[in-house]
Amino acid sequence: MTESDIILSQDSDSDDLASIAMAVHKLVGIPVTIRSVNHRGVCIEDDAIIDHDYTGPVLEQVLRENKLVRTIPKTGKYRDIPVVVAPIHDKDKKVIAAIGVVDIIGSIDLGLVFQKYPEVIRQIGDIQAEKKSGAK
């Protein structure tokens, strides 16, 4: 291994996790948080690490439960904002870290959005009707 290798483990610290979180943030353009089982991690917003010692209630829940969680936290930095957090596993499927993002889909009132686009709703209905009639 070289000094530039990224090793992800239960003991990864914020320095180890920062580049992964920043890459996800750059891809999706929304806040990203990450932590490992044994160390707090980072919180990234607006292309910057705003916290090098970060944890949150949903990250901790995912580390305990080892499953994806979509929720609206009642406490923490993202209180009352929809988030989605996923576990990161090692090769033996043991949880080693959790990574989360603000859940943009959960933040959008899709009914209100599509109310302004009735043609989209009609097209979706037409596609579903075609599938049903073709399946018979």
- Domain assignments of the chain as residue spans, ordered by start: 14-102, 108-136
- Distance, C-alpha 108 to centroid of its chain: 16
**Spatial distance between the Cα atoms of 120 and 24, rounded to a whole number of angstroms:** 30
Copy the structure tokens of residue 34. 């990450």
Give residue 116's pLDDT: 64
Give residue 114's pLDDT: 64
Give residue 5's pLDDT: 80
Give residue 135's pLDDT: 56
All residues at 6 or more sequence positions from 133 whose CB lies less than 8 Å from its CB, including other chains: none
Q: Extract the residue ranges of the chain whose pLDDT is less than 70.
A: 1-3, 106-117, 120-121, 135-136
Give residue 46's pLDDT: 95
Number of alpha helices (DSSP H) and beta strands (DSSP E) in the chain: 5, 6
Question: 80-117, pLDDT tens digit by residue?
Answer: 999 999 999 999 999 999 999 998 776 666 666 666 66
Give residue 112's pLDDT: 64
Copy the structure tokens of residue 33. 């948080």
The CATH fold assigned to 14-102 is Beta-Lactamase (3.30.450)
